[in-house]
Homo-oligomer: A and B are copies of this chain.
Amino acid sequence: MILCRKIDEVKNILKNLKKQCKSVGFVPTMGYIHEGHISLVKKALEENDVVIASIFVNPLQFGPNEDFAKYPRNEKRDLAILDSNNVDIVFLPENDEMYGNNFLTKIRVDKLSDVLCGKSRPGHFDGVCTVLSKLFHIIEPDRAYFGLKDYQQYIIVKKMVSDLNFNIKIVGLPIVRDDDGLAISSRNIYLSPENRKTALCLNKSFNIVENLLKNGILEPSIIKNKIKEYILGFKNTRVDYIEIVDTETLEPLNEFKENFLLALAVFIGNTRLIDNRIFSLKSYNC
């Protein structure tokens, strides 16, 4: 596995590979590699000649009161895991390498960035789009891989890529869960053993939705209230949002469509967790 810390270095290596007509799959990460990332790596290995992962905790996508400073980092461990999973190249730049030169540019996807996590984290998706645009230009991959746990991110990145005519295919892959159902996230490490148990309420609230749908309850507002009630029944929980939205426009639905996204953001203690699922009414004979 090749490790590059400099932009010019990684560009040169990729230039040579592209001259040999190798296809390039890209897995952008903020490190603290987990099974979710590995599922992206595996798919990228299937679909491309070369796989490159980036590790960069992007300050632009953290708000002033968020966890940029304490976001978990473990370079040595990350590199060992990526290596043993057959990643070919890791790009691991310093902050200065990315934003050193009096950085002034910002990319924004309107509307889609203003709802759900974008509402609670103003500027977050601008930061995501901006850093990805840089990484896409540096790496020029054929395909880039994203986990659907960050469903809104996936939709926004797809929209940016389509609007700006990036020559990259964006691939979204299913949420990877621990055996007990908790969506895997680097932030799970913040949870105390007790809160770790409580955190299952995010995933379990999907069962509540299933039951309501099966019983013919088709009112988004009722469903959202039932989930809220359920989650707030646990100690140390605070709801950031519970939303039922269109799977493409992310606009709130007051009436159900055939498919809808249920998206949650819940604080368990001080840790903000997100989860989501797409429901198809057909599956419930609605």
Contacts and interface: CB of A to CB of B under 8 A. Distances in A.
A137 interface: yes
Copies of this protein, total: 2
A105 B157 CA distance: 10
A104 interface: yes
A104 B105 CA distance: 17
Nearest to A162: B101
Interface string A100-118: 0101111111111000000
A133 interface: yes
Contacts of A167: 11, 137, 140
Contacts of A137: 164-167
Contacts of A106: 107-110
Band of interface residues on A: 20 to 34
A121 interface: no
Contacts of A163: 101, 103-105, 134
Interface in A214-243: none
B160 A105 contact: yes
A105 B109 contact: yes
11 contacts: A11-B167, A101-B162, A104-B111, A105-B107, A105-B108, A105-B110, A105-B129, A106-B108, A107-B107, A108-B108, A140-B167
- Residue among A110, A129, A133, A134 having the largest count of chain B Cβ atoms under 10 Å: A133
A191 interface: no
Contacts of A110: 104-106
